C-alpha cells in the first residue's frame, strides 16, 4: 500500500488523514485498511484506529467485513445514484436559498477557479480531483452552515470513490467550465439560474459515469503492475483469471 498520509497528519487525527487521502484520490475504493496496519502507521494502538473506523463507517466512507477487515467503500450503482441525487437536492437547495454573494465569497470562488485552472494547466490530476470536489464544498461554505458543509464533504468523498470506480475518463475542462458558469450566475445575482446550472452540472458528471461497469476486483493489482485500467469495452464478461 502507498503511504496513506504524511506523518504530520497524526496531529489532525486518523479520520481526517484517511478522508484527505480519499479526497485526493491517493486511496482507492476497496482498499483494505487493517487495524494493526494503520495503527503502526500512526504509532498508536488498535483502539484509536478502531474508533476512527467507527466514525468513518458512520460517514459512509469505510465498511467492515466481519473478521475480515475494514475496506474503503465501493459504492454500488444504486448508491452512486443516491449520492448524486442527494448532492443535487442539497446543492440546488443551497443556491436557491442564497440571497447575495459577498465580495469575500466572490474572491474565494475566484481564487478556487484560478487554482482549478492552474491544476489543469499543470496536468496535476491528483490535485485536480481534489479541487473539483472542493468547489462544491466552497459553495456550501458561503452559506455559513457548517452542518451542510460537513454533509457535503462526506458526499464529496463518496463521489470521488464513485468516479474512481465508474468514470472511464475525466473531462476536467468540462467540469471546470461548469463551475465557471455557476459562479458567473452567482455574480449576476441569479441564484435560481445557478441552482439550475448546478443540477445540470451534476447530471452531466453522472451521465459521464459507466454505471454498468462492475467494480474491478483486480484493480489494485492491475495498478501495482502498471497495467492499463480495465477497458469499458469488455466490462462484464472479463475472465476471473487470465488463462495461459
Partner DNA sequence: CTTTCTAAGCTTGTATGCAAGACTTGTCGC
Partner DNA sequence: GCGACAAGTCTTGCATACAAGCTTAGAAAG
Interface contacts to a copy of itself, rule CB under 8 A: 50-51, 54-55, 57-60, 79, 82-83, 85-86, 88-90, 92-94, 96-97, 143, 145-148, 151, 155
**168 is in the binding site of which of a copy of itself, DNA, none (Cβ under 5 to 8 A by kind)?**
none
Contact between 117 and DNA by CB under 7 A: the answer reads: no
Residue (31 or 175) nearer to DNA, CB:
31
Q: Which three cell numbers stand for residue 201?
A: 452540472
Indicate which single residue of 70, 84, 166, 191 sits in contact with DNA (rule: CB under 7 A). 70
Q: Does 35 bind DNA (CB under 7 A)?
A: yes
Angle of the 35-42 helix axis to the 14-23 helix axis, nearest 10: 100
> Running DSSP on this structure, what letter comes out for residue 99?
-
Q: Which of 67, 240, 241, 243 contacts DNA by CB under 7 A?
A: 67
Please name the helix (run of DSSP H) or strand (run of DSSP E) that holds residue 64, with its range, or none: strand 62-65
Among the listed ranges 47-55, 88-96, 195-203, 207-215, the one in contact with DNA (CB under 7 A) is: 47-55
Within its chain, how far is the Cα of 190 from the centroid? 28
Residues whose CB is less than 8 angstroms from the CB of residue 242 and which lie 6 or more positions away in sequence, other chains included: none
Instruction: Assign residue 25 a region (left: φ > 0; alpha: ψ between -120 and 50; beta: otherwise).
Output: left
Interaction of residue 44 with DNA, rule CB under 7 A = yes
Going by C-beta distance under 8 Å and a sequence separation of 6 or more, which residues neighbour residue 1?
31, 32, 37
In the list a copy of itself, DNA, none, the entry touching 184 (Cβ below 5 to 8 angstroms by class) is: none
List contacts with DNA (CB under 7 A). 33-37, 44-48, 50, 64-70
Amino acid at each position: 500500500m502507498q503511504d496513506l498520509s504524511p506523518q504530520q497528519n497524526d496531529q489532525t487525527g486518523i479520520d481526517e488523514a484517511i478522508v484527505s487521502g480519499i479526497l485526493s484520490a491517493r486511496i482507492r475504493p476497496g482498499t483494505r485498511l487493517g487495524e494493526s496496519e494503520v495503527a503502526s502507521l500512526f504509532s498508536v494502538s488498535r483502539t484509536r484506529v478502531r474508533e476512527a473506523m467507527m466514525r468513518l463507517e458512520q460517514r459512509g466512507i469505510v465498511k467492515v467485513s466481519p473478521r475480515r477487515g475494514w475496506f474503503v467503500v465501493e459504492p454500488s450503482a444504486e448508491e452512486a445514484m443516491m449520492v448524486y441525487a442527494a448532492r443535487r437536492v442539497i446543492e440546488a437547495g443551497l443556491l436557491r436559498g442564497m440571497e447575495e454573494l459577498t465580495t469575500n465569497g466572490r474572491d474565494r470562488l475566484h481564487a478556487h477557479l484560478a487554482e482549478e485552472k492552474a491544476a489543469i494547466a499543470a496536468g496535476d490530476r491528483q490535485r485536480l480531483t481534489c479541487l473539483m470536489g472542493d468547489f462544491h464544498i466552497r459553495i456550501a461554505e458561503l452559506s455559513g452552515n457548517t452542518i451542510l458543509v460537513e454533509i457535503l464533504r462526506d458526499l464529496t468523498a463518496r463521489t470521488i470513490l464513485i468516479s474512481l470506480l465508474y468514470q472511464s475518463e475525466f473531462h476536467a475542462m468540462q467540469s471546470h467550465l461548469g463551475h465557471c458558469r455557476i459562479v458567473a450566475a452567482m455574480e449576476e445575482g441569479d441564484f435560481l439560474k445557478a441552482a439550475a446550472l448546478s443540477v445540470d452540472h451534476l447530471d452531466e458528471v453522472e451521465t459521464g459515469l459507466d454505471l454498468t461497469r462492475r467494480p474491478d476486483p483486480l484493480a489494485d493489482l492491475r495498478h501495482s503492475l502498471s497495467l492499463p485500467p480495465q477497458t469499458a469495452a469488455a466490462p462484464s464478461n472479463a475472465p476471473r483469471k487470465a488463462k495461459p
